[in-house]
Every structure is written in structure tokens, then in C-alpha cells.
Amino acid sequence: MISVFGSANMDLVAYVAQAPKPGETITGRAFRTIPGGKGANQAIAAARAGGRVAFLGAVGDDAFGPGLRAALAGAGVDTRGVRTVPGPSGVAHIVVQDGGDNSIIVVPGANGALTGPSAEDAETIGRSRALLLQLELPMEAVVAAACLAGAVTGAVTGTEVILTPAPAVPLPAELLDAVGVIVPNEHEAAVLTGRDDPRDALEALLDLVPEVVVTLGARGALYGSRDGVRLHEPAVPVRAVDTTAAGDTFAGALAVARTEGLGPDGALRFASAAAALSVRREGASTSMPHRPEIDRLVRDRT
């Protein structure tokens, strides 16, 4: 099983010709509400990719809470670890201009109420092969979850912590000590290490965690481990329609492949195939591929 301890946001997306200036009111072209948040996205991606997934997080007692739960449950994610807290759910208020430029306001809402895993969450994490974390929850909550999995690792179950360090902020040492694999994109890798070249950043990150995957968008992904393996997995060439959540699809699929016992190259190939399939379609969770499609693409490429 894979646990995801992370954020769930309702994305409120307005499509406009040009974003309004301060004080200006404009008429938009279209509006969509799309369940998102990096935690929920990774949970849905992992479930679609064939994983047994539990999402641990919080939604508000507003109108968006049930929609977020339903989106996770609809993808086959176990939502028993989702609590409802008083107040609004997390929302991302997104304005998409013609030509694709975005401006985004994230209001954490219920996500900000999480201080750490509950006793039930701890039990779920202890039974999981992998724990997926991102940084859209309060840092203390992320650290608590990572330390919990890290503590179990040597002792009983071996819960591998896979961290997507987004949004990129300095990482506390106790978090890094518990992480098995870190999966930044190249921007995050540069922020975390001060190295603009992703290969240099990867080497610097290997001083901090045992395994590193740096995603490079259409240029694929780099992998390195402390035992000397270095790989570059090119992206699958596709006509990109919308790259939103490509990174979350990649991370979710990577976790599935690793928990199924694939080695670094097989896991990268599987994750790259899943991410490429997601960029061919619009939206975040709406674009994530199901297992048979991923298997077919992996087969076609080998």
C-alpha cells in the first residue's frame, strides 16, 4: 500500500483574455472547478497507475469538501484518513489568460489545520510500503509524518519516504534524514542546492538523501543514487497539450513502480510513460492515465 499525506485543494479556474488589473472587473470566458492539490493529485495518479492508495489529509466543512472526497474516492483512493475540519477547504484560485499564462492564489484552508498524522494515520503509514509527501502542508506536519515513517523503516515495515519538495523551501535536517527519495523538478533542485545545472544539483542533493530524481519536463528525468548509479530517462515524445500535474503524475507512478519492486531504470520508464500520457490531455487529475495505458506505452517503447 502507498500512503499520501498531503494537500487537497479545489482549483477554481477562470479563463480570461487578459487578467484584470487591480480595481478592474472583467468578464471571463469560462470557469471550471477541478479537484487538485499536490497531495490529492499524487494519490489519484498512484491509484490510476495501479497502486493501492490511502490519502491522509483534511478538507473543510464547506461545499468543496465532499467534492474533494468524491474525486479521490472515484479514483479508487481510500479516503478513510481524510478528516473534515471547521472552515473552508484549501482552494487554488487560478486565472488562465489566453496564451496560457497563469496567476494563482493558493489559500491553504483545511490543509493549514494539519499539524501531523493522527494515531490512525500513523497506523496506516506503518502498513505502507511508501509514503508520498509534498510541501503544501505546514512543515511541522510534513516533518512529523516523515519521521514517523523513518522511525518505522529500520524497525518493522520499511516505509520508504518519497518527497516532492514543492513549493521549494529550505528543508529541515530531520526531514532530510527520513527521506529515501527526493523528486524535485529542475527549478526546485536549483533552489534547494544553489546549482543551476540539474546534474550538479543532483550530486549536491545526494549529499542529503540516498536517491534523487530530478525531472526536466520535456527533457526527461535524471536519477542518481549514493551507490553510484546515474541514469537519464528521456521524455516520451508526445504532443503536449497541458503539462499541469505532470510532476505529480510522475511521482505517483514512480511510487507504484518502486513498491512493485522495479529497479531505478524500470521505475523511471514507468513514471515517464505515465507523465507523458498526462501531458497529452487537459487538466490535472482529469488527465492522469490508467494502468493499462501506461503498460501499453512502456511495452511499445521497449
Site residues for ligand ATP per CB under 6 A: 185, 215-218, 220-221, 235-236, 238, 240, 243-248, 250, 272, 275-276, 279
Q: Which of 42, 49, 133, 43 is nearest to 80 (CA)?
A: 43
Q: Is 40 annotated as a binding residue?
A: yes
18: number of Cβ within 10 Å = 12
Q: Minimum distance from CB of 239 to ligand ATP (Å)?
A: 8
Q: Minimum distance from CB of 301 to ligand ATP (Å)?
A: 12
Q: Is 239 annotated as a binding residue?
A: no
The residue among 66 and 263 lying less far from ligand ATP, judged by its C-beta, is 263
**Strand partners for 102:** 96
The residue among 95 and 144 lying less far from ligand ATP, judged by its C-beta, is 95
Q: Is 288 annotated as a binding residue?
A: no
Q: Minimum distance from CB of 125 to ligand ATP (Å)?
A: 24
Q: Minimum distance from CB of 97 to ligand ATP (Å)?
A: 17
Among residues 248, 265, 295, 300, the one annotated as catalytic is 248
The residue among 141 and 271 lying less far from ligand ATP, judged by its C-beta, is 271
Q: Is 287 annotated as a binding residue?
A: yes
Q: Is 128 annotated as a binding residue?
A: no
Does 62 participate in catalysis according to the annotation?
no
CB closest to ligand ATP, residue no: 247
The residue among 127 and 291 lying less far from ligand ATP, judged by its C-beta, is 291
The residue among 21 and 299 lying less far from ligand ATP, judged by its C-beta, is 299
- CB burial readout 133-162, b (16+ within 10 A) else e: bbbbbbeebbbbbbbbbbebbeeeeebbbb
Q: Minimum distance from CB of 115 to ligand ATP (Å)?
A: 26
Q: Is 281 annotated as a binding residue?
A: yes
Which residues are known binding-site members? 9-11, 37-41, 136, 185, 215-220, 242, 244, 247-248, 278, 281, 283, 287
Which residues are known binding-site members for K(+)? 242, 244, 278, 281, 283, 287
Active site residues: 248
